[in-house]
Structure formats: structure tokens, C-alpha cells
Amino acid sequence: MSSAAFEVRPYPEMWAELDMDVGRFDKARQMLGEVYRKMFLSQKNRPANMAYFDNMVAEIFGGRIKEMLAVKKKGKPVVGTFCVYIPEEIVVAAGGVCVGLCGGSQGSVPDAEKVLPRNICPMVKSAYGFKAGRICPYFQSVDFVYGETTCDAKKKTWELLDRLVPTYVMEIPQMKKKRDRTLWLEEVQEFKAKVEEVCKTTISSEDLAGAIRVINDKRRALQRLTRLRAASPAPISGKDALLIEQIAFYDEPVRFAEKVNTLCDELEQRVAAGIGATPADAPRVMVSGTPMALPNWKVHNLVESARAVVVNEESCIGTRYFKDLIAEDKKTMDDQLAVLTDRYMQIDCSCFTPNDERIDQILKEYRESKAQGILHYSLQFCHTYNIEEIKVREACEKEGIPYLSIESDYSPEDVGQLQTRIEAFLEQIRG
């Protein structure tokens, strides 16, 4: 798709039916299109099969919403999510849709700050502001949203969000002892009952087995993409890979996996031919830390504008979402829910204590991605990741890994300062 022809397409009549603030949202739509053209479509030597993902952005507020509403009209659940702990297999087993609602935009933060404190996570504020301001068609389309207790700001915000949209909260254990696993299994069982209540059906073991395969296939496709990024030169930019990971939370999963695998076929050809999105000597950076919800592309854009390439994301929008699969050989519902629970207990979110496996995972992914430095990214007021950063830094110092830690929000005010620090970090890698 040419840069000149690209736009995030408008659907004002549908938005009005969803009770959105159409005039205000349309301005945000236009701004997103302008940013996308400058940041993504200006890249040189992009893989041809990125065209599908460009079109997903073009239709993100229209075509995909229509698909979700069609599912909803059939009596199937449309569930908004904020966390990778959502057992999305259960929703898919019921014929429903899971869609990510995390906010990555500064534009909705002022709406949230009319109600919420200023000094909490910008992702929480952005998400709440989208609903409070009626400026997100996804929020306006869901039957209910799934909240979780991974941080204090979230779990208290869900109480207020429930006034605006039905909000179902699952308790996430904070440790990984036997009793915590029992708690999580019970939460998964209750979530299944909630989904069945909403869609007025009973999920069979065959339904769940099929859904496990579908979501595993999505994860396998993303794992394949991650492995290909380890090539030198990297066959795809970090920005494009991040975009794909973000779209994973919006797109229909079977189609998404097919399109990612088609892209990976092309990337394998590029690797064999030595074709890269950046030169082979471009510094290779791994980004670790908090998730980057769409359209939060700030860090990747700064790194790659400085002639480097991001080759991995150790975050909930990245490998933490797809690194682990669920066993597909279980036949009974009890066994399926047990292995599903075991898989989700492997997620190494910083809400857990202790969380040493995350440090080990970071070092493992650093080596596998052939990165040359680690950039740890934390959102402001994300206390668990900001404190756990100390252990990440100590591990990098011990291993002699070039390291930079940054803390930011969604505003552009710190771009100049971050650019200076990132450029100095890249000079350290270049030596």
C-alpha cells in the first residue's frame, strides 16, 4: 500500500450506532493515519506481505469492528481484555471474540484524569479514558470486559470501569506455590462458567480442544516470526514486528496465524538471500519490560531512527504472550483446564514474587535473538516493573551486556531526552 493512498478508514454511521463521540474520534483516526504513514510506510525495503497488516490498521476501526458485531449478533461473546492472563481459549471455544483493550494513546488520558489520579500507570488511564470519552469502537462493542489483579491501579480502576461497562475481574495469584495454582484453576473454571452464561451455551471438551489448537497455532506463528528476527541482517524491522504482535490482540486468530506464516515464508526467502530491513552492521537491540499497547511505537521508532534494529520484545505484547503452548493431547474438560492453567502459570509477569524465572528468560531471549544490548522499558508508575528492573540491570552487569533503562509515558514531551540517551546507548554497542 502506498503512503499517499493510506488512511485509517472512517465508518461514521457505525460509530454513531455504537454511541461514540464521532467528531472527536474522527480526529483521532486522522492523526493515527498520519503517524502510521510517517512511521511505517516510509520504511525502505519492507516485506511485501506487510500489506495485510497495513490493511488491518486501515480497517482497525471499521472492518474488524463489523466482524465482531456479526459474531455478537449470533449470540456469541465479545470479550475485552487487558492482560495476557485472559484464558482466551475459553472464549474461542464458545465461538466468541477476544479483543485487547489496553490503551497506548495519550489522547484518552485527559478523560481518565477527570476521574482517576494522575500518578498511576498511563496504560490504565488510557484504557479507562477510551471508555469514559466514548472514543473506542472496541470498548463500545464488547459484551463485557475482563479485568485482572496484576497491579493495584488496575484492580481499583476495574471497580470504576464497571460503572461504564460490565467488568468481570479474575484474581491473579501473586506467587506460584501449589495453593496459588489451585486458586488460578478455580478462577479459570469460574471464567468458563461466566462465558457460558453470557453466550447461553455449554462449552464441550471438543470445543475447547479445537480452541486450544487455534490459539496454539497463533502462538506458533509468532514464535516462528521471532526466530526469523534472529537472522543477520534482520529480515524485518522491529517496528513492523511490534505492529504484528499488537495486531495479534485484535485480529481473528485463524486468519492471523495464516497471514503471519505467509509473511514468515517471505522472510525465510529474504534470510536465504541475505536481504535485511536494515544493514547487517546495524546495532541489534532487545526491548524488555512493560507492554506497548497500540499505538505506542515511541521506543522502537527512536531506536530504529538511529539506524539500529529491535530484534525481540520480552514483554506482554511480545514473547511473554506467546512463548508457551498448551498440551493438545488432553481429552476431558478437567484435564484440558488443568493444562491450560499450567500454561498460564508459566507467564513471568512482574506481579509475581519471587520472579527469578523472568531474569533467566530475558538472558535466554537475549542470546537467542543475537541482540547486542538490552533496553528495559517501563511505563511511569509501573511499580512492579520499575523495581524488578534492578534485578534485570544486575543480571546484565554480571553478563557484561550493554544496558539502558528508560521510564516513560505516552506523551511526546520526553522524545528529545530519550533520543539522546538511546543514541548514546547505541554508540556503546557500536564501540
For residue 278, being part of any structural domain is answered with yes
Q: What is the pLDDT along the chain (431 residues), one digit of tens a residue?
A: 567 789 999 999 999 999 999 999 999 999 999 999 999 999 999 999 999 999 999 999 999 999 999 999 999 989 999 999 989 999 999 999 999 998 999 999 999 999 999 999 999 999 999 999 999 999 999 999 999 999 999 999 999 999 999 999 999 999 999 999 999 999 999 999 999 998 888 999 999 999 999 999 999 999 999 999 999 999 999 999 999 999 999 999 999 999 999 999 999 999 999 999 999 999 999 999 999 999 999 999 999 999 999 999 999 999 999 999 999 999 999 999 999 999 999 999 999 999 999 999 999 999 999 999 999 999 999 999 999 999 999 999 999 999 999 999 999 999 999 999 999 999 999 98
The per-residue pLDDT for 2 is: 66
Count of domains forming the chain = 1
- Write out the H or E segment, with its range, that includes residue 98: strand 97-100
Give the position of cell 484440558: 336
The per-residue pLDDT for 4 is: 74
For residue 6, being part of any structural domain is answered with no
For residue 3, being part of any structural domain is answered with no
The per-residue pLDDT for 1 is: 57
For residue 362, being part of any structural domain is answered with yes
- Write out the H or E segment, with its range, that includes residue 285: strand 284-289
Helices (H), 108-177: 109-113, 122-132, 137-141, 152-161
- Contact between residue 402 and residue 313 where contact means Cβ atoms under 8 Å apart: no
The per-residue pLDDT for 5 is: 82
The per-residue pLDDT for 199 is: 85
Cis? peptide before 295, omega within 30° of 0:
yes
**Which of 179, 126, 121, 181 is CA-nearest to residue 152?**
121
Residue 406's beta-bridge partner residues? 377
Name the pTM for this structure. 0.97
Pairing of strands 144-148, 78-81: parallel
Which residues does 35 contact at the CB level (< 8 Å), separation at least 6?
Answer: 295, 297
What is the rounded distance in angstroms from the CA atom of residue 292 to the CA atom of residue 315?
Answer: 8
The per-residue pLDDT for 200 is: 87
pLDDT in tens, 94-136: 999 999 998 999 999 999 999 999 999 999 999 999 999 999 9
pLDDT in tens, 162-209: 999 999 999 999 999 999 999 999 999 999 999 999 888 899 999 999
Domain containing 260 equals: 12-430
For residue 19, being part of any structural domain is answered with yes
Which residues does 25 contact at the CB level (< 8 Å), separation at least 6?
Answer: 15, 61, 134, 135, 136, 137
For residue 2, being part of any structural domain is answered with no
For residue 359, being part of any structural domain is answered with yes
- Contact between residue 287 and residue 377 where contact means Cβ atoms under 8 Å apart: yes
For residue 267, being part of any structural domain is answered with yes
- Give the HSE-up count for residue 16: Cα atoms under 13 Å, Cβ half-sphere: 5
**Which of 135, 142, 140 is CA-nearest to residue 26?**
135
